[in-house]
Amino acid sequence: MGFSVTNECASSALADMVHAEPLELRYEPRSDELRSLYWEEGQAKRRMDARPGLWIAVAIYLLFSATDLLLIPDVAIYTITARFAVGVTALLILEAQLRRGVGTEWIDVTCAAAIIFGYVGWLCPAVISADKESVSYYMVFGTIFMMGANLFFTFRFNLSIVTSAIILCVLYTVNYFVPSTLTYKIVLGIFYISCFIFTSYVNWRLNEERYNVFLNALEAKIQHKEATERGQALLNLSRTDPLTGLENRRAIDEKLRDYWSDWQRSGSSFVAILIDVDFFKRFNDYYGHQEGDRCLILVANALADMIKQYNGSIGRYGGEEFIVLARMEKREQVADIAEAIRSTVENLALPHEQRRDGISVVTVSVGAALTRPQIGAKLEKIIHEADRALYLAKAGGRNCTWLFDPNDPQSSDESENIAALLKIAIGQDLVSLVYQPIQNVASGRVEAVEALMRLKMLDGTSVPPSLFIPVAERTGAVLALGRWAIRTVCAELLADDHVGVVSVNVSPIQLKTPGFAASVATILSETGVAGSRLALEITEGLEMEMHSGILRCISDLKLLGIRIWLDDFGTGFAGLSWLRLIDFDTVKVDRSFLHDCGTPRGKAMLQDIIALVRNRGHKILVEGVETDEQMAIVREFDIDKIQGFHVGRPAPAASFRARPITYKRPFSVVKSA
């Protein structure tokens, strides 16, 4: 196509999205800051737990009134009154604080004070009981308040210590004055100290454990946020053209589906506009790839600014081709936006002295198609119509616009002609295969070939795969073509051991079709070819939905020994899910990542993708190796296999039969390209 994706600024900006660390991770907080953050984040929980905690504590405190009646009945009326007074007062103060929104630390103080006054309020009337022996033993219950301060509430450690220490002091004071033997005082004193030390230690450990849980949760939160940001960056990257910063073809195809669904559901009409830079190959050849990139960026920026007026979407659809989608109802509106697109680029006045058509600046040809009731139910139709209009605009002299008219004889739908051609392609020998070698990087030997489908018209004119493959999938002709391709590779190269492995691309339609795996097994049996010598390639894409039939079919194919590959990995986000669901033998990394290695960030992106695949245990094949510099990169990254013009161009089967190649082990994949 004569274009180069090497613009460093755009590539760097996109790579930054993935490699830039979140700002929070660049600063290492100190321990005291972490402690402060821990208590700040814990305030909400302590505040929420305070109300039920104090209510439960007061309820239990009041229930112990029964023991007062049992053990110290002569002063029970006073102790019970004290219990109710302290309990009710504490609850009223707490509710008032919660209503007024006072600080959490004051709520903690209220709960701690409730424990202290609850103990003192009960103990003061209890010690005046005439039954001193019961009182001396009943005082043991004071340790319950100590445990409440250390274990029941989640106070700060210093507040728990102060509260339990106050209770300990009160216990010792009362223990000193209550009549009892010295042995009793010593034993009970040791018990109080032991309880204080034990509960304080447990409280300290619990606080440390809560803090460690907080640190782990904080680390997990940061890691999750970073992973989410990187995942979103990868998703954005997979939907963004690395040169122009516009949406790429994958993203614009998603938007096209949304526009189409709205039109089918509610009749919201829209226009699809294809834009092609005129004589761009000549521009690229004369001014160089860097200027070619600059030209595309300037055109993209100008069109993006202009399209905002129409609330439309613009994306890069190919080398020098752009696409615009906008909601419109009338042909007059379409004519206006198409002319605005043409004039916007012309007004940039970018020099182009190699046109030889009387114009010396960069211009574009514009083809548009508007939805209409007779367009049919397939969304590809509107793109075909826009493409046909673009062809007529270019045929009309370029630097002009053309709106598809179904009543114009020149606007006949080319896809219908291709659909008719596909019906007779196999019978008339109009379809053929060529094979591109795949090389083992370590050994330097070719270990497999990839089958590529070719189609010609009755007059011998070639039809690009980008045209006939979508039509074949839409019409179902891909089923017959797929079976023919598998049978042909078996007969031409595999049956007589001319090559070790041939890979063939399969469509989601084939994988969804019942009996596909059985038909492949039949072909292998009839040709006498082992399944391990055939590789079927699945292209990563949105259309490869998580269909149970597809997964079942893949499982059946693997039982035959057939190798399953994932193609074009990295061009979409869906591939991560497929790596999780399917044990691929080999993953092919899309050529765009290798070609973007001219910048440090582009190289880092390729390294990240290779690391991701390698961690899953898959073999790695990099596509599009065309230069010695790219070969050096794949050696540096220890890639397993490569494919591209540096290894060999697609050639007929006879080229491989004439000079057989020795293979170490099966490799794989077949694709129409």
User: Mean pLDDT over residues 600-626, rounded?
Assistant: 87
What is the rounded CA–CA span in Å between residue 178 and residue 132?
Answer: 7
Residue 671 has pLDDT above 60, yes or no: no
Mean pLDDT of the chain: 81
Distance CA 340, CA 401 (A): 10
For domain 415-656, say whether CATH 3.20.20.450 is its number. Answer: yes
Rounded mean pLDDT of 348-374?
86
pLDDT of residue 3: 37
- The pLDDT score that the predictor gives to residue 668 is 35
CB atoms within 10 A of CB 266: 8
Coil vs helix vs strand at 402: strand
Question: In this structure, which CATH number among 3.40.120.10, 3.60.10.10, 3.40.50.2300, 3.30.70.270 belongs to the domain 249-408?
Answer: 3.30.70.270
pLDDT tens for each residue of 109-118: 888 888 888 8
Query: Does residue 103 carry a pLDDT above 50?
Result: yes
pLDDT value for 659: 54
Torsion of CA 441, 444, 448, 451, to 10 degrees: 80
> Please, which pLDDT band fits residue 11 given cuts at 50, 70 and 90?
very low
Cα gap 516→355, rounded to integer Å? 51
Q: Are 354 and 283 in contact (CB under 8 A)?
A: yes
Q: Does residue 207 or residue 21 have the better pLDDT? A: 207
- 573 or 133: whose pLDDT is higher? 133
3-state secondary structure (DSSP) of residue 3 = coil
What letter represents residue 168's amino acid?
A: L
> What is the rounded (10 degree) CA torsion for 11, 12, 16, 19?
90
| CB contact burial 18-35 (16+ within 10 A = b; e otherwise) | beeeeeeeeeeeeeeeee
On the question of pLDDT at 552 being above 60, the answer is: yes
Q: Which residues contact 158 (CB under 8 A, 6 or more apart)?
A: none
pLDDT per position as a tens digit, 278-295? 989 889 888 999 999 999
Q: Which residues contact 385 (CB under 8 A, 6 or more apart)?
A: 272, 369, 375, 404, 406, 411, 413
Give the whole-angstrom CA distance, residue 653 versus residue 667: 18
Torsions phi, psi for 365 (to 5 deg): -105, 140
Question: What does the pLDDT average to over 500-515?
Answer: 88
Structure tokens at 251: 């993203």
Contact 226, 177 (CB under 8 A): no
Q: In the numeric block, which tokens belong to residue 436?
A: 């591109």
pLDDT range class, residue 559, cuts 50, 70, 90: very high
What integer pLDDT is reported at residue 240 of this predicted model?
86
The Cα–Cα gap between 607 and 639 comes to 10
Q: What per-residue confidence (pLDDT) applies to 344? A: 95
CA–CA gap between residue 616 and residue 618 (Å, rounded):
6
Check whether 540 has a pLDDT greater than 70. no
The more confidently predicted of residues 617 and 274 is 274
Confidence of residue 432 (pLDDT cuts 50, 70, 90): very high
Model confidence at 24, pLDDT cuts 50, 70, 90, reads very low
Q: DSSP character for 534? A: E
When mean pLDDT is compared over 3-7, 52-56, 168-172, 609-613, the highest value belongs to 609-613
Given a contact cutoff of 8 angstroms between Cβ atoms, the answer to whether 269 and 327 are in contact is yes
On whether the CB atoms of residues 159 and 165 are closer than 8 A, the answer is no
Give the model's confidence band at 384: pLDDT under 50 very low, under 70 low, under 90 confident, else very high: confident
Q: What is the DSSP string of 538-581?
A: EE-STTS---HHHHHHHHHHHHTT-EEEEEEETSSTHHHHHHHH
| Distance in angstroms (rounded) separating the CA atoms of residues 586 and 537 | 9
Choice among 247, 320, 447, 492 that is catalytic? 320
Strand locations in 265-363 (E): 270-277, 313-316, 321-327
Partnered with residue 446 across adjacent β-strands are 439
Sign of CA dihedral 91, 97, 100, 105: negative
DSSP result, 305-320 = HHHGGGT-EEEE-SSS
Taking residues 399-403, report their average pLDDT.
Answer: 91
Give DSSP secondary structure letters for 447-480: EEEEEEEEEE-TTS-EE-HHHHHHHHHHHTHHHH
How distant, in Å, are the alpha carbons of 20, 27, 223, 599 from that of 16? 5, 19, 18, 12
Q: Which residue has the tokens 């049978």?
A: 487
Do residues 281 and 1 touch, judged by C-beta distance below 8 A? yes
- pLDDT at site 414: 63
Q: Per-residue confidence at 571, pLDDT binned at 50, 70, 90? A: low
| 83 pLDDT tier (thresholds 50, 70, 90) | confident
pLDDT at position 548: 66
Mean pLDDT over 256-284 rounds to 89
Note if 320 is an active site residue. yes
As a whole number, mean pLDDT of residues 618-629 equals: 89
What proportion of the chain, given as a percentage, has pLDDT over 70?
Answer: 85
Q: DSSP state, 27?
A: S
Helix or strand or coil: residue 55? helix
Q: What is the mean pLDDT of residues 167-196?
A: 75
The full set of domain ranges for the chain reads: 34-219, 249-408, 415-656
Region 458-463: what's the mean pLDDT? 87
Q: Is 478 exposed, middle or buried (0-12, 13-18, 19+ CB in 10 A)?
A: buried
Helix axes 157-177, 182-238, angle to 10 degrees: 170
DSSP three-state, residue 69: helix
Say which residues have a Cβ less than 8 Å from residue 259's Cβ, sequence separation at least 6. 268, 270, 325, 327
Percent of the chain whose pLDDT exceeds 90: 25
Q: Six-digit token pair at 199?
A: 């509960």
Rounded distance between C-alpha atoms, residue 304 and residue 463, angstroms: 32
